[in-house]
């Protein structure tokens, strides 16, 4: 595995008013690394990955993505967003556009790609997430699992170097979780750099290089998945794992 860092967070702090939501976060992500972030709700894990593409603004510390420092400079922010794809819990497909138009929107307008080329790439990606036959439909006509796979394809259409997943399976009916996870596992095997906020511990065991546990805005513990699940060191980690794993 390559050893150069693609995401670096140094001493990152963020407050919502008085509430300290991220406290002194240090994180170094290598190229091709897959990281799973877990933790109780309100622990700041979503906020953490949303800071990486500036959907949230951090107030202290440095974030460097692919060699570009994240500042208030719009040029830098847009440069980073071009390299970083994001998948949301609630899919956030554009309901007024067809599936194909959802995919080609950003390549055409942000990357100035000719429409035909963008559509070819989009159809290729739809095949990869196994729903090419839905290209002409609208998001509202698809099931949740299909919509989330479209959302992944849409993010990939920009040819990102890094993918962020913000609880991609939490809003899905149970029978649809697998079809989305399968796509994510494939993506991981192809060597994509991924940061994934999720409680799917099976996914974490299967693909993660590192599991990070966050609580109250801090990174409490991080380790390789085997070690992390077998021998959690911190009390808070043990409690959390006990809560989410005891159903087997």
Q: Does 180 bind other proteins (CB under 8 A)?
A: no
- Residue 218 near residue 187 (C-beta atoms within 8 A): no
Q: Does 94 bind other proteins (CB under 8 A)?
A: yes
Using the minimum distance from each CB to other proteins, give the nearer residue, 126 or 158.
158
Q: Shortest approach of other proteins to residue 247 CB, angstroms?
A: 30
What is the C-alpha to C-alpha distance for residues 28 and 5, in angstroms, rounded to an integer? Answer: 6
Q: Shortest approach of other proteins to residue 70 CB, angstroms?
A: 14
Q: Does 16 bind other proteins (CB under 8 A)?
A: no
What is the C-alpha to C-alpha distance for residues 147 and 25, in angstroms, rounded to an integer? Answer: 33
Estimate to the nearest angstrom the gap between the alpha carbon of 53 and the chain centroid: 10
Quick count: other Cβ atoms within 10 Å of Cβ 159? 14
Q: Does 158 bind other proteins (CB under 8 A)?
A: yes
- Window 31-70: contact mask with other proteins (x via CB under 8 A): ----------------------xxx---------------
Could you tell me the CA-to-CA distances from 195 to 16, 30, 54, 204, 236 in Å, in that order? 23, 11, 15, 11, 22
What is the C-alpha to C-alpha distance for residues 15 and 32, in angstroms, rounded to an integer? Answer: 30
Q: Does 75 bind other proteins (CB under 8 A)?
A: no
Q: Does 117 bind other proteins (CB under 8 A)?
A: no
- Residue 30 near residue 17 (C-beta atoms within 8 A): no
Q: Does 93 bind other proteins (CB under 8 A)?
A: yes
Instruction: Out of 26, 59, 71, 90, name the contact with other proteins by CB under 8 A.
Output: 90
Q: Does 19 bind other proteins (CB under 8 A)?
A: no
Instruction: Out of 141, 170, 234, 239, name the contact with other proteins by CB under 8 A.
Output: 141
Q: Shortest approach of other proteins to residue 124 CB, angstroms?
A: 18
Only one of the segments 119-127, 139-147, 204-212, 240-248 lies at the binding site for other proteins (rule: CB under 8 A); that segment is 139-147
Residues that bind other proteins (CB under 8 A): 53-55, 74, 78, 81-82, 84-86, 88, 90-96, 98, 105-106, 108-110, 112, 137-141, 154-155, 158
């Amino acid at each position: 595995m390559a050893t150069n860092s693609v995401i670096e967070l140094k001493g990152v702090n963020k407050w919502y008013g008085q509430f300290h939501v991220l406290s002194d976060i240090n994180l170094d992500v290598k190229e091709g690394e897959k990281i799973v972030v877990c933790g109780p709700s309100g622990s700041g894990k979503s906020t953490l990955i949303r800071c990486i593409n500036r959907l949230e603004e951090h107030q202290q510390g440095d974030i460097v993505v692919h060699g570009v420092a994240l500042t208030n400079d719009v040029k830098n922010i847009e440069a980073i967003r071009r390299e970083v794809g994001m998948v949301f819990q609630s899919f956030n497909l554009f309901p007024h556009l067809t599936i194909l138009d959802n995919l080609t929107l950003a390549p055409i307008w942000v990357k100035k790609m000719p429409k035909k080329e963008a559509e070819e790439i989009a159809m290729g990606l739809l095949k990869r997430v196994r729903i090419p036959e839905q290209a002409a439909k609208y998001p509202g006509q698809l099931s949740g699992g299909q919509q989330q796979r479209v959302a992944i394809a849409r993010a990939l259409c920009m040819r990102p170097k890094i993918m962020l997943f913000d609880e991609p399976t939490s809003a899905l009916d149970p029978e649809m979780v697998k079809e989305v996870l399968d796509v994510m596992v494939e993506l991981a095997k192809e060597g994509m750099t991924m940061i994934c906020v999720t409680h799917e511990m099976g996914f974490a065991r299967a693909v993660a290089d590192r599991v990070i546990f966050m609580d109250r805005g801090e990174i409490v513990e991080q380790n390789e998945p085997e070690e992390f699940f077998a021998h959690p060191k911190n009390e808070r980690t043990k409690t959390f794992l006990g809560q989410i794993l005891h159903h087997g």
